[in-house]
A and B are shown apart, each in its own frame.
Chain A
Amino acid sequence: MAEKGVKVFGMWASPMVIRVEWALRLKGVAYEYIDEDLGNKSDALLRYNPVTKKVPVLVHDGEPIAESAIIVEYIDEVWKDGYTIMPADPYERAQARFWAKYADEKCNAAIFPVFTATGEAQSKVVHEAQQCLKTLEKALEGKKFFGGDAFGYLDIVVGWYAHWLPIIEEVSGVSIVTEEELPLMKAWFDQILAVDVVKETLPPRDNTSRKTLIYTGSRAQGQGALVPVGNTNRYQRFPPTAGNLPESLPRQRIEVLGFLEGFRDIGLFHIASMHQKRVWV
């Protein structure tokens, strides 16, 4: 059976998935996008990625590849005559891979707590997140993009910050990436948001689309869903479980928390009203 073509198994709010879409679109590769309900994963996803069961998974002519950063390199290698994603020079490539790992491991771990911390603890975690981003920002010095003049591998890996961090800032009521603290990163956000493939793929930011959100924890322990308590602004877990999610967080924060879990555990969000299937050519 010769299964032909490119499929992307994803979740619409996941920043990891969007990396893959950016890479494919830069190369002008047509793909079928399959949106997964991560609380109820499809047989296909589990068959294509039995080891980690996560999105994104790229399926190319029937062969699956998992792990977003690995997929991006794969795309660059297979469609090598298209747009150049990885730097040409091995030393530059090593730098890009180094910073990608730093961002995914250190920066993400520093950013996530901003969202769950409150009061004095919050200003401490904001400061730590800023320190992490300041270190990363050094790789931008004198350049428009991390990739230099053109949007490249490291921009693909961390570009999601440009859309997601302002959302986190808004719902957490903090400022992380400011002109004073992170001027290069702030300027780079503008560059990222102007890139065509980015504009084409960013998920909606407005509140309407998040109104019907139900948060489903997708960690192995299978934490319960958060459901609204009547008409109030409070959410309760159903079934109740132990977890590090404070029950008394205001609704908006809880919505975006789930949204945000996407970058840490690859999409824990289930959008009750949205089950998309997009075909892009």
Chain B
Amino acid sequence: MAEGGDLKVLGVWTSPYVIRVRVALNLKSLPYEYVEENLGSKSALLLASNPVHKTVPVLLHGGRPVNESQVILQYIDEVWAGTGAPSLLPADPHERAAARFWAAYVDDKIGAAWQGMLFMCTTEEERAAAVARAVAALETLEGAFEECSKGKAFFGGDAIGFVDVVLGGYLGWFRAVDKMIGRRLIDPARTPLLARWEERFRAAEAARGVVPDDADKMLEFLPTVLAWIDAFKSK
């Protein structure tokens, strides 16, 4: 399929899952309409496009919805393959499997810890435990970065790839948590490669305006997200 076809993303500006999709679209230089959703009062379009999960991100391509962020990333990569921008996933099947593995690991370990440290903890002890789990996972990812990057700038090599955008989606909230706990999750002393990776990722054109860098703004938004989660739980 050639370029074009109207693209729309339904999202929430803080969501790691939405941010990664937007970075991917930017990497491919694909124009899209962005719709900020209020998950306390979901739009008819959202409910119709993602009836199973009723959440963001949703990618609408020519009106057809694609849901689940990692599924969306692969869809974008496949539909707009060979259009000039580098692929998110490598060409070699073994490297693809490795990238998918680490992306799954990120969402499994980092994702669960992120939820734990922001949305599910009721005490500071619980938050600290979730932070510890995140840090442990980041230490594993430090090793993965060394392996995958082979000395280059990103998990994907010279160019931002699949694991980069998947992990990169969490950076906005990481900065907010850093402020909350008074130290960095991606600590240059413990995970120096990832600390430098973060700088490069944030500096990338594709991340500009999409990966939040204002911790205060994120923390101001946190009660809104907590209220959405509470409302969902009480259903």
Contact = CB atoms under 8 A, between A and B. Distances in A.
B100 A73 contact: yes
B64 A91 contact: yes
B66 A77 contact: no
A94 B101 contact: no
A67 B66 contact: no
A74 interface: yes
Given A65-B94, A78-B93, A102-B52, A70 B101 contact: yes
A24 B96 CA distance: 18
A277 interface: no
Interface string B81-98: 000000000000110111
B78 A70 contact: no
A67 B75 contact: no
B64 A98 contact: no
A210 interface: no
A102 B71 CA distance: 12
A63 interface: yes
A170 to B, nearest CB: 30
Interface in B66-80: 66-68, 70-72, 74-75, 78-79
Nearest to B108: A52
Which of B72, B74, B94, B140 has the most chain A CB atoms closer than 10 A to its own CB? B94
A91 B140 contact: no
A90 B71 contact: no
A25 interface: no
A93 B140 contact: no
A97 interface: yes
A98 B78 contact: no
Contacts of A67: 100-101, 104
A74 to B, nearest CB: 4
A71 B71 contact: no
A51 B105 contact: yes
Interface in A55-98: 60, 63, 65-67, 70-71, 73-74, 77-78, 90-91, 93-94, 97-98
Contact of A93 (B70, B75, B93, B105): B75
Interface in A204-222: none
Given A74-B94, A78-B93, A135-B52, A91 B66 contact: yes
B101 A66 contact: yes
A71 B52 contact: no
A60 B66 CA distance: 32
Given A74-B94, A91-B66, A94-B66, A101 B71 contact: yes
A65 B101 CA distance: 8
Interface residues of B, number: 23
Contacts of A70: 97, 100-101, 104
A74 B93 contact: yes
Contacts of B64: 91
Contact of B78 (A65, A77, A93, A101): A93
A74 B97 contact: yes
A94 B71 contact: yes
Contacts of B78: 90, 93
Nearest to B59: A94
Which of A70, A77, A98 has the most chain B CB atoms closer than 10 A to its own CB? A98
Contact of A94 (B72, B96, B104, B140): B72
A74 B96 contact: yes
Nearest to B81: A90
Given A91-B66, A93-B78, A101-B68, A71 B105 contact: no
Contacts of B71: 94, 97-98, 101
A67 B64 CA distance: 29
Interface string B132-176: 000000001000000000000000000000000000000000000
Contacts of B96: 73-74, 77
Nearest to A77: B93
Contacts of A93: 74-75, 78
28 contacts: A51-B101, A51-B105, A63-B94, A65-B94, A65-B98, A65-B101, A67-B101, A67-B104, A70-B97, A70-B104, A71-B97, A73-B100, A74-B94, A74-B96, A78-B93, A91-B61, A91-B66, A91-B75, A93-B74, A93-B75, A93-B78, A94-B66, A94-B72, A94-B74, A97-B70, A98-B66, A98-B68, A102-B52
Given A90-B78, A94-B71, 14 more contacts: A65-B94, A65-B98, A67-B100, A70-B100, A71-B97, A73-B100, A74-B96, A77-B96, A91-B61, A91-B66, A93-B75, A94-B74, A97-B74, A135-B52
Interface of B: 52, 61, 64, 66-68, 70-72, 74-75, 78-79, 93-94, 96-98, 100-101, 104-105, 140
